[in-house]
Structure 1
Amino acid sequence: MAIKGVTPVLNVSDVPTSLAWFESLGWKRGFTWNDGGMIEGAGDRSAHGDAQFGSVCAEDSQIFLCHGGQGSRGTIMPRWPGDDMTDGVWMSWWIDSVPSLDELHATAVSLGYVVTMPPTNEPWGVREFHLRHPDGHMFRVSAGLGD
């Protein structure tokens, strides 16, 4: 068996809004889906207004976005003690270089996005900052200090 990739599914409150959030940070729109079937890929937001599922892509990485159901935080499946419905999933984004990471951080700040930890050189050899998605998902945005 050869695993060709892993794609996380994030539960979001509004797929078009999440698509726009990711696109503003350099991700590309993959596809969107609603009850009527597949909606074409990238294009005018108005064509994706009722999307219930979609994807964003960056290089070889992809994230699925789902409104309701998949990726839920306790609304469908039983909750574990200590779960908080406002908490999201933590994920890491690996960026190609420290200058690119700092540029992405500046973009996020200029757009008014929530940065919960500024770019910091960590003792384990990475520079990273923490970025919160509007639905509470948290991204550790990292680049190797040797890159």
Structure 2
Amino acid sequence: MGFGGVTELAADDCWSLLRDHSLGRIAASAAGTVDIFPVNYAVDDQSIVFRTAPGTKLLELAINDRVAFEIDGRSATEAFSIVVKGVAERLERQTEIDEAEKLGLTPWIPTLKYRWVRIHATEVTGRRFALGPEPERV
């Protein structure tokens, strides 16, 4: 364990946790505003792929393709947080979309989400936290 029950995770451990989960948040910014959107996703090699409908997310990604993506989780004894920073690319070519569809990613809600986005990771970091009571104050 690191300082105060916090452990830095290796990149391979981060990708393993990303593969084990399917709900995350993408942070995008445009015109001085930062927005965070929940998305269900899949990992493809070392990139994040998600589907979306036309709207704010796609507009912001067209203005600024630099994004952050985050997942977290917890059990009774520990928690974790993984952050992926990278470049978002809307998949345009049918061959790219066909490959992405092989991931089996479907919308969780009954909406048409026919736009595909891939986040090419430039940085992946993660931390694991040992849960416990607050230490005594001295």
Task: Please give the TM-score of this superposition, normalised by the length of structure 2.
Answer: 0.28
Structure with more of its chain in strand, by fraction: 2
For normalisation by structure 1, the TM-score amounts to 0.27
Higher relative contact order (CA 8 A, sep 6+): 2
